[in-house]
Amino acid sequence: MSRTRQQNVHAAQWSANGAALGAPDLTSPGASSFGDNVFSESIQRDRLPKHVFRQLQTTLAAGAALEPSLADSVAQAMKDWAMERGATHYTHWFQPLTGLTAEKHDSFYNPTGDGSAIAEFSGKELIQGEPDASSFPTGGIRATFEARGYTAWDPTSPAFILENPNGTVLCIPTAFVSWTGEALDTKIPLLRSMDALSRSALRALALFGVQDAKRVFTTVGAEQEYFLIDEQYYFERPDLYTTGRTLFGAKPPMGQELDEHYFGSIPERVLAFMLESEQELRKLGVPVKTRHNEVAPAQYEIAPIFENSNVGSDHQQLTMQVLQNVARRYGLICLLHEKPFAGLNGSGKHNNWSMGTDTHINLLDPGDTPAENAQFLFFCAAVLKAVDEHQELLRASVASPGQDHRLGANEAPPAIISIFLGAELQNAFGTLATGQGTATRKGDLGLGTDVLPELPLHGGDRNRTSPFAFTGNKFEFRALGSSMSLGFPNTVLNTIVAQAVDEMAADLEQRLAGGAELFDAVAAVVKQVWDEHGRIVFDGDGYSEEWHAEAARRGLANLRTTPEALPWLVADPTVEAFEHYKVLSRRELEARFEVFVEQYATKLNIEAETAASLARTSILPAAVRHLIEVRASGLEALGAEVEPLVTELHAAITRLEAANAGHPDVEGLEHAVYIRDTVVPAMDAVRAVADRLERIVADDLWPLPKYSEILFIK
């Protein structure tokens, strides 16, 4: 048996790892593990003195700072709870501009001077930490000589316990801020944007007679896609463990052409991994709901129930971490790259977004009364206005090197931002624009006036090619990449909708002050939005060339690559909106632009250097050995087939190495453009030849596991 076949046999062997979960009776009291490792409100109620608990909840509801004595009481209870669960250390768990999470562990124990130690944890330690801010991406906000930064406790996202075979650690969700008060993370802007949208939405709701709501929350439910492959193949692929994707790989004889993988039967090993992952996530309070096979072989999805955007964003970071950790227990690797395998579906993270009041009213769900439906049309129109006015910014919020492989392909929405409403809702807006109402049909929700059109109950549809689709009671922003934090895209969405709601509310206020009836005024405001921004609505095939041409005629942007999109982070309309709502200052936006541009260039440079090294030291020698063997066989026709490809590969490698070494003395966007226009094409050219060689070089000489092995041997 060849070496390759032996590897395949080894990878295919799997048995239960001895950590069987069992099948508990979920109807029994206490059988559910949901939230076991979370310092939740119910735990706080049980462990804090009643007056302290009431004071804490009042403080949180008001968004005020904690008194030192209150913080000390909470810290003591949190420490005792964590230590009972095996924790000896705590960490401020934060989300810098790396897209990942960060943590520094500190012990609860302090020496007493008599040879012993005592466990202590003060309110000051709970509230604030001090990491080195200059060691994280800051876009120039913090330099090495001014390194101080702070982590600040976010009491609205509950602390939790992370388990390890050798113990546990208390994780305290925190914000990360510079010494000068500027946001260095994804959490602070998200919280600011949620506050901004709440203020704007409450202003608008007051015009509809809603007086009891005190806050409007945005909610998210992110559908996380990922790949699972055997770790044997992962560690035999330097491109995978260095960059997260395969830089080489010929199309296998069978990929996803048979359409049999989506919603197919889940392999036993994968299902075992899923079950344990879900158990870990439930203990962390993550409300996971759905699991299934995705379209590509070895691709899967997990999805939660909707949550508050801040908590949901934290939970999404935890979900990615848990998936990657648990996979190793099953001899698997979880790949979160947007396009780990060329020619197959990439992985996204559909961001289901909505707005709701603290009185449990979903503002994007048609209601049971004419007033509620007028209110729904108002907020729905605000989203249309926001997305149209800031379409380029929304595209920039999901830009990354991995996304450049995925967006616009046949498994992901196009780089053109548009909105899909569904036939019924689009017709309702269109009818409103004409000013001609129609009689209410059975099953439709009447709006109490002939001016407003009929609105179908539970109207909604799906369009897989739409980057931004209305799906019944929410909008689904489908352009996020699988490895992304939810923080920045939702910050953008919250901020631009807050701006649109404010502008529409001001228009509505003016019309009402002029004596217009509410329904007539709402109809006029919504009609104006549709007239000015209806161009953003499209219900057809987003992949078609006809749509690209039509989008250009409508004046919609088509930002195909990251360097085209990122400048919109610092465009004047972006800065104006973000500064007005105090979400991000110009300096904070410029910092993010610098960080994202640098990350684009750095990640692609790593890919290019990895590709050049792997091609020269592994693929080229394998092809040469094959050529030598063919020549020795005396079969001239075979030699004539191989030799030109070997020569072409060598030439392509030489050009890539020259491109890697020839970076001009430029920085920022200019450097990113050079890599996009010069380095990436050179890297693609090397791959094109290498993938042709993979099909003819002897199997036992080829140095890398092939797609046909990686994707199908489980």
**What pLDDT score was predicted for residue 495?**
98
CB within 8 Å of 467: residues ≥ 6 apart: 413, 414, 416, 417, 418, 477, 478, 479, 542
d(CA 679, CA 658): 9
Most confident of 252-261, 349-358, 370-379, 636-645: 349-358
**What pLDDT score was predicted for residue 90?**
95
Most confident of 41-50, 109-118, 135-144, 444-453: 41-50
Please give the residue that has the higher pLDDT: either 540 or 61.
Answer: 540
Most confident of 430-439, 595-604, 627-636: 595-604
pLDDT at 698 over 80: yes
Alpha-carbon dihedral 679, 683, 689, 691, rounded to 10 degrees: -160
d(CA 19, CA 33): 17
**What pLDDT score was predicted for residue 424?**
78
Please give the residue that has the higher pLDDT: either 27 or 82.
Answer: 82
Helix (H) or strand (E) run with residue 5 in it: helix 3-12
Helix (H) or strand (E) run with residue 82 in it: helix 68-84
pLDDT at 438 over 90: no
Nearest Cα residue to 405 out of 147, 215, 687: 687
pLDDT tens-digit map of 464-504: 788 999 988 899 999 999 999 999 999 999 999 999 999 99
CA–chain centroid gap for 509, Å, is: 37
**What pLDDT score was predicted for residue 447?**
46
Q: Which two tokens stand for residue 46?
A: 């049980």
Q: Is there a contact between 619 and 690 (Cβ–Cβ < 8 Å)?
A: yes
**What pLDDT score was predicted for residue 437?**
47
d(CA 488, CA 185): 9
Most confident of 137-151, 366-380, 522-536: 522-536
**What pLDDT score was predicted for residue 8?**
75
**What pLDDT score was predicted for residue 576?**
98
Beta-bridge partners for 109: 119
d(CA 36, CA 38): 6
Most confident of 29-43, 211-225, 367-381: 211-225
**Which pTM does this prediction carry?**
0.93
Summarize the confidence of residues 80-105 as an average pLDDT. 94
What rounded mean pLDDT belongs to the chain?
89
Reduce the DSSP state of residue 631 to 3 states and report it: helix
Please state, for a pLDDT cut of 70, what percent of the chain lies above it: 91
Confidence of residue 4 (pLDDT cuts 50, 70, 90): low
pLDDT at 290 over 90: yes
Nearest Cα residue to 77 out of 147, 186, 168, 159: 159
Domains of the chain, earliest start first: 36-185 (3.10.20.70), 193-209+216-584 (3.30.590.10), 597-710 (1.20.120.1560)
Confidence of residue 422 (pLDDT cuts 50, 70, 90): confident
Nearest Cα residue to 288 out of 35, 613, 5: 35
Intra-chain end-to-end CA distance of the chain, in Å: 20
Instruction: Quickly count: other Cβ atoms within 10 Å of residue 338's Cβ.
Output: 27
pLDDT at 63 over 70: no
By DSSP bridging, strand 117-119 and strand 128-129 are unpaired
Q: DSSP characters for 416-429?
A: S--EE--HHHHHHH
pLDDT at 672 over 70: yes
Summarize the confidence of residues 155-183 as an average pLDDT. 93
DSSP 8-state symbol, 146: G
Please give the residue that has the higher pLDDT: either 181 or 651.
Answer: 651
Confidence of residue 12 (pLDDT cuts 50, 70, 90): confident
**What pLDDT score was predicted for residue 10?**
72
Q: Is there a contact between 703 and 3 (Cβ–Cβ < 8 Å)?
A: no
Query: CB-hemisphere CA count at 13 Å for 415?
Result: 22
Please give the residue that has the higher pLDDT: either 121 or 20.
Answer: 121
**What pLDDT score was predicted for residue 116?**
66
Instruction: Quickly count: other Cβ atoms within 10 Å of residue 272's Cβ.
Output: 21
pLDDT at 457 over 60: no
Q: Which residue has the tokens 């305290």?
A: 172
- By residue count, the chain amounts to 714
